[in-house]
Amino acid sequence: MKATTFFSLASFASAALAWPWDNLISRNVAPRRTSSLLISPDAQADLPTVQAVAATLPTDDIQGDILVGMKKKRELFWFFKIEDAAAFKTSLHNDIVPLVTNTDSLLQVSTQPVTAVNIAFSHNGLVTLGFSDDIVDSDFQNGQFSDAPARFHDREDEWVSAFKSGDIHGVILLASDTQSNIDTQLAALKTSLGTSASEVYSLQGAARPGAYQGHEHFDYMDGISQPHVDGFGTALPGQKTIQPGQVLLGEDGDSAAAGRPTWAKDGSFLAFRQLKQFVPEFNKFLIDNPTIVGSMTPEEGSAFTGARMVGRWKSGAPLALAPLADDPTLAADPSQNNNFDFSEQDDFVRCPFSAHIRKTNPRSDLGNSPFNNIIRAGIPYGPEVSDDEVAANTTSSDADLERGLAFVAYQSQISAGFAFIQQTWVNNENFFQAGTGLDPIIGTNGGSTFDIAGVDPNNPSQSLTIIQDFVLSRGGDYFFSPSISALRDVLSV
């Protein structure tokens, strides 16, 4: 692997004065960090070392967010419109590409930048830059808004207007451990871009505080069941190994590789969704619908209902291995907390077919198919639930208090990745069996109620009515995250 060093624009001038120019690309530049910009909760698998990455996987040329997953402390999504293509290309080549963070640099603290920078383009953005090559993905070409209301049951009136406008040409991702670092980097980028690009929208995300780090806003540990990309370290017990081409264009396993332009190799399609979460309403629903088994208290029964809807307890312990009570010790061990594939059962007794983790990753239910995989790289956004919201059991209408998940998924084919999972599994009431119901967490019936089966193991014929969408799509779009060499040698010249 090549060792690559990246600099923030804010520190560039002082660095140039302090060192001879040759040192700016030296392997011996003093480390800029002593603490990581990434989170590392016990339940989530550690990232591999650079030495553990196969030489055949060019992680020095792959943008860092693609393989790292849901591990950022803070992250800003800055959506932009290109106003002057020629000027934008100049800034991209001279100012932004030298900052783009590769995968290798994120794998050890000493090589992490102060603020990680990645960039991706919508189809309209690539066309604006003068590139009309067919990257062989019709979803990317058409954009998410073209069919999301019909395909995913999204409610168009709930979409953020920016995602409906067609004005978004790209997104810059900025990740760091402090908001100050991100703000400084963004200001420098805006200065560099000048009038060549303008902000269309932005969304700030952050890992939740303290003991909730790594948990989404419903309080469930997230980011546990990522697939293992062959060559990127070693698979843990129960972790599905997929070919790199399931995520990276042009690599082994990319079924469309032959028809794609060579410059698209080692890029990935980024599916972005802003998913608003109704946390007080979800918690009240659990209180009102406890599932009592044996001597469980009502409080324990409510926690059990939540676990049956998600497929995991809040700690991250899976029902498949901890069917009746949470097991925080199991949850905190990445060598155990994903070591199941539903072959332990052929029914709903341990984990319902409707449970979120079984709907989105059916494992042995479909013979552990190597297809339809994504790398999730999202992050929570918005504040913690306020006391007033808790008291009212209602999410505030104040836009500043909106909370949810900035959902990010990487794949080499959107129709086989995010879009397939959302349409064919999540929002299909007859997957995996007839009458299973929609995914109770991220499924939607267009705002109407729907029933799910199998929540109560004592009464399998009894359905549970989901009274509202607990997760609401606020819109999104599809982007292409090119390799760093493609950014430098093709897209910016």
Q: Which residues does the annotation mark as catalytic?
A: 222
* Residue 231 backbone class (left: φ over 0; alpha: ψ -120 to 50; beta: rest): left
How many C-beta neighbours within 10 Å does residue 160 have?
A: 16
Tell the burial category of 320 from Cβ atoms under 10 Å away from its Cβ (0-12, 13-18, 19+): buried
Coil, helix or strand at residue 465: strand
Residue partners of 347: CB distance under 8 A and separation at least 6: none
User: How would you classify the pairing of strands 404-411 and 379-381?
Assistant: antiparallel
Radius of gyration over alpha carbons of the chain, in Å?
A: 22
* Phi, psi values for residue 22, rounded to 5°: -60, -30
With residue 82 as reference, give the H or E element that holds it: strand 74-82
User: CA-CA distance, 274 to 155, in Å (whole number)?
Assistant: 13
Reduced to 3 states (helix: H, G, I; strand: E, B; else coil), residue 353 is coil
Q: Residue with structure tokens 């790398």?
A: 375
Round to whole Å and give the CA distance between 373 and 239. Answer: 12
DSSP-based three-state secondary structure for 173: strand
Q: Give the Å distances, CA to CA, from 95 to 8, 100, 192.
A: 10, 10, 7
| 407: helix, strand or coil | strand
Task: Say if residues 247 and 266 touch (Cβ distance below 8 Å).
Answer: no
Of the candidates 115, 108, 38, 106, the residue with the CA atom closest to the CA atom of residue 72: 38
Q: What is the dihedral of CA 337, 338, 341, 347, to 10 degrees?
A: 40
Spatial CB neighbours of 283, under 8 Å, sequence gap ≥ 6: 393
Query: Residue 176 region, left (φ>0) first, then alpha (ψ -120 to 50), else beta?
Result: beta
Q: Which residues of 179-244 form beta strands (DSSP E)?
A: 197-206, 228-229, 241-242
Looking at residue 3, what DSSP letter applies?
-
